[in-house]
Chains A and B, each alone.
Chain A
């Protein structure tokens, strides 16, 4: 597996990294001293954190709203939600770029976060909805009968029941945001390059074992998040 080789070579001494010349942690040290990479890492984490929170809130409310109410244009909204999932990412990237250019919003953190929220929301809606499908509506009615206000019912009954779905979807949104290459490529400003964008330029302009080390670290973080998300998802079954 190519990934295994990548991890292996992140500990290799040789700069040309084809021949094994000995074990070293140097590349990890170098990486920690590389300010560009650290900046990109900070950008990625900040963007992922904010867009995850926003996307989870919007997506959850949308899922609950669409589950509970019938309204005009629901089918259209439904179809539209799937649009960002099915259209090619590159089309979405350039259309957001066109929008920001037209509104004269300078590219940077804001545009990056707005774009990440946009592509994460549909995934959140899909996951939360799957959780809502098994939802017993009578417990909401029971809460209302016992005198809870709609808000109390939502916070104390609905949210706890769908919490695993919310949590799983927020982890999904986080990984989507951390890993996104194509859309970020178009909407990130010069000062707001995310980690994948930094990797892209590092790969493009030459191969150093630092990328192996960086990739290994990213792999560990992503896997960790996915395992947690899977655990939460499994528990509901």
Chain B
């Protein structure tokens, strides 16, 4: 089994140093060309845009997810299960289906446009799909459960008496939140952000389906290099770069939390 985990990765690392042969295979000589090529502004920009989009996805998930997780964790037990189910259903729904559901809503003849037209608010259908906002919506909707679940776990653990103590000592609600709640739930925030950020970098099908061909992210780049351009060495180099980036984030996470149980969250 170990071989099945590690061998392929080693192989990709090896492929990334080869040259591309004219038949789409791999060739000697060994070269660093593929890595150098990645730092061409064209490709580097793709990585940059991917990171920016993943960052916005993470931030939006946090903004939407935090209040939601807070409400669930603080609601009476009998409602809590129902609210949890609202998170679990999307969590276990195939991500393609969730993406498709948004396409049904957003496309030109979609539900939102039809409703707005009927209500006379607009004369022409808005183009809601096939832009970066649509990709962002798709990513946020797909990744939200990964943010809410760790947040919920850490908010639930929060000792309520600490909040009362803060209030007794004269803290305003906002101060209590910033200086007590937020620091104490930081592990959940960090874990959730990591769980959202990393997969959002690699989800090629959401940009494919919701961004049209306009939005090319690192996931799409890797996919295209392997399946369309048949340039395996360059595709391999791109994925090694993506993986190193990912491992750096995880390393950062472990260093920041200094929490040896941190991996249990994954």
Assuming the A-B contacts A86-B246, A95-B11, are A118 and B92 also in contact, with contact meaning beta carbons closer than 8 angstroms in the complex? no
B92 lies within 8 A of A181 (CB)? no
Chain A contacts for B242, CB-based, 8 A: 88, 90-91
> Is B126 positioned at the interface, with any CB of A under 8 Å from its CB?
no
> Is A146 positioned at the interface, with any CB of B under 8 Å from its CB?
no
Question: How many residues on B have C-beta within 8 angstroms of the other chain's C-beta atoms?
Answer: 60
> Is B94 positioned at the interface, with any CB of A under 8 Å from its CB?
yes
B60 to chain A, nearest CB (A): 16
Chain A contacts for B202, CB-based, 8 A: 88-91, 182
A204 lies within 8 A of B208 (CB)? yes
> Is B102 positioned at the interface, with any CB of A under 8 Å from its CB?
yes
Chain B contacts for A87, CB-based, 8 A: 9, 243, 246-247
Q: Is the interface of B mostly helix, strand, loop or mixed?
A: helix
A175 lies within 8 A of B92 (CB)? yes
Within 8 A of B (CB), among A199-232: 199-200, 203-204, 207, 211-212, 215, 218-219, 222-223, 226
Question: How many residues on A have C-beta within 8 angstroms of the other chain's C-beta atoms?
Answer: 57
* Subset of 25 A-B contacts with CB under 8 Å: A6-B97, A16-B109, A19-B114, A81-B5, A86-B247, A90-B204, A90-B242, A91-B9, A94-B12, A95-B11, A98-B232, A99-B8, A178-B94, A182-B204, A182-B205, A185-B205, A186-B227, A199-B97, A203-B99, A211-B100, A215-B100, A219-B89, A219-B93, A222-B92, A223-B89
Q: Which residues of A contact B (CB under 8 A)?
A: 2-3, 5-6, 9, 16-19, 58, 62, 77, 80-92, 94-99, 102, 114, 117-118, 121, 175, 178-179, 181-182, 185-186, 196, 199-200, 203-204, 207, 211-212, 215, 218-219, 222-223, 226
